[in-house]
Structure 1
């Protein structure tokens, strides 16, 4: 177990229309508690005895528009390279953010980045930890973080931070971790190819109807090819039925008095993806390309990142929480889903 403090100086990435938000260099301080997984499961050793952690963060943007933010997140910290004096790790971070200076049409109309009091945090880093004493270590990292509300409120352009990070850790005495030889091996799956189906839904707010939310529905079918004990590749189709998109198109045609027929709001896309198995959890990354999208209001490509949780031993029934974005940063929807893998 260890307790650490990290200090970050960040580069701010925003869209062209939000350049007024990136006039300062944000700083943050994080307090983190980490502990190793118990070592009593096969996958703990597959990931070289990873750590789990809880982190609280304080962010100061030195801006009256963005103000300060406070975060609470969970981190899965995988060891990539281990040596006597140090180790290289890959921390993956999920959590929530409290933003007192969020968008308000009267008091803070220039904050196009964060539209709600509470939003989501996703983070990925590459980190090196160097042991300077049996109880003390130093940490340096390069971290990428994304903050947004998943289109639950508008505006929702989001914030992307790239941060060099420096920290110090105090290590408590660890328990003795079981050796892999004493742990029953997981049965190897004979099947290499699976077929999956996933239904998703959620709520989305669109401009300019403040506080009005619309439901959307997604259906995903895919083939999954197992490329190892921990990884699989996916190829499939997405179908989108978004009532917010329908309302947005109808509003646009009405206000502009356009004479041509209203285009179809439904969408179909091709997706490719990767899933990393971490026990009963799957870490999902996908990229998609719209094959059918009559109303061109976003990029042709979209991205997804999120989690699956498998409820059965054979990894057949699962639920999911996935963030869909356009342009590698602008949140489009937060999708809640349930699926089955054949």
Structure 2
């Protein structure tokens, strides 16, 4: 996965989280809706010599989205200056017989950076699921090294400028960076990176809104407190293009943390990994299968969590201190989206990365003590 997208992660649990966050305990205020229809055009980045033959045309697309303005029904709305949450349907035509078309459903968070009565500048980040009917196939589509599975994660970062044409109709101009990848669950997994220009119209149910007053009683009660997270994860991956089998990957993590402020947790922890694809790799490369090094690994991690109600977006950096089989670098990174089902129980979707390349997508469950 390219470096520019490692900090978007895995926002794949975002929509369930927003639904939970929208269940307000405070009196509700009107949350105005915005409906948008946009045209997109861009180019594909040839980030590897292996994909230069696929970069022959400029992709074009359409996007239909629906977003709502948060108004303060949850305390974190005010802490982040009342962002918008939205969902979009995105279509691309790659004008290339090997790649064909793609269809995606995405969810996103849009944070307003500057606002006047008639204008608004926002930054948007989101994720979703993309579908490619013409994915890589060894017999029928062996040239499509970008996309090896029909289902892929899609990630997006975008800057939008909206200016009022009428009290309810706005012209939107944007610039975006889009990414499609399956996180190494199938290979080849080179991924598609598409910078695009966006032009379209927004219909605002209500351009100006009145936020609910902040309630000091809703300040976090755990500021400065310590906690302990114990979790385990499971994932699967494909070893290489010639081996079509899927191998299970497991991990166990124990991490201590501290709530620093309204928006942040700091984490330090230990974790262990068992990647069964490394056993197959050993059998293929070793001359003598006696006394092979252990493929299990252990590491120490430091991390940060950005808090949005029950959601936490995590970035972790880890270092292996037990790594007998040197299959990778001495360090790893992880992007995590965690959702607290209750005060104690949480689930997470993680992307583990080695030096900019996706290693495995991890499905995690854990408890907070």
TM over 0.5: yes
Candidates 293, 303, 306, aligned match of 2:323:
293
The 1-side partners of 2:300 and 2:49 are apart by 29
Aligned residue runs from structure 1 range 176-187, under 5 A: 177-181=210-214, 184-187=217-220
How far apart are 1:335 and its partner, in Å? 0.6
Candidates 340, 347, 350, aligned match of 1:310:
340
**Is 1:199 the equivalent of 2:232?**
yes
Candidates 77, 92, 116, aligned match of 2:149:
116
Give the secondary structure class of the aligned counterpart of 1:215: strand
Candidates 314, 337, 342, aligned match of 2:364:
337
Which structure shows the higher strand fraction? 1
Task: Please give the TM-score of this superposition, normalised by the length of structure 2.
Answer: 0.81
**Partner of 1:3 in structure 2?**
35
How far apart are 1:36 and its partner, in Å? 1.7
How far apart are 1:291 and its partner, in Å? 3.7
The 2-side partners of 1:15 and 1:319 are apart by 35
Distance 1:131 1:234, change over 3 A: farther
Q: Is the 8 A contact 1:281 1:308 kept in 2?
A: yes
How far apart are 1:208 and its partner, in Å? 4.6
The 2-side partners of 1:269 and 1:132 are apart by 55
Distance 1:339 1:14, change over 3 A: same
Distance 1:293 1:167, change over 3 A: farther
How large is the Cα RMSD of the aligned pairs?
2.6
**Is 1:269 the equivalent of 2:302?**
no
Task: Please give the TM-score of this superposition, normalised by the length of structure 1.
Answer: 0.87
**Partner of 1:166 in structure 2?**
199
Give the secondary structure class of the aligned counterpart of 1:180: coil
Q: Which has the higher contact order (CA 8 A, sep 6+)?
A: 2
**Partner of 1:70 in structure 2?**
103
Q: Is the 8 A contact 2:129 2:154 kept in 1?
A: yes
How far apart are 1:174 and its partner, in Å? 6.8
Aligned residue runs from structure 1 range 202-281, under 5 A: 202-208=235-241, 210-253=243-286, 257=287, 262-281=292-311
**Unaligned ranges ≥5, structure 2:** 1-32
Distance 1:123 1:270, change over 3 A: farther
The 2-side partners of 1:226 and 1:126 are apart by 30
More displaced 10-residue stretch of structure 1: 34-43 or 107-116: 34-43
Count of residues paired in the alignment: 336
The 2-side partners of 1:184 and 1:137 are apart by 37
Q: Is the 8 A contact 2:223 2:262 kept in 1?
A: no
The 1-side partners of 2:176 and 2:209 are apart by 31
Q: Is the 8 A contact 1:42 1:183 kept in 2?
A: no
Q: Is the 8 A contact 1:157 1:331 kept in 2?
A: no
More displaced 10-residue stretch of structure 1: 265-274 or 170-179: 170-179
Q: Is the 8 A contact 2:76 2:308 kept in 1?
A: yes
- CA displacement 1:199-250 (0-9 Å, x = unmatched): 1112222225654211110122323233320122323333211112222222
Give the secondary structure class of the aligned counterpart of 1:248: helix
**Partner of 1:283 in structure 2?**
313
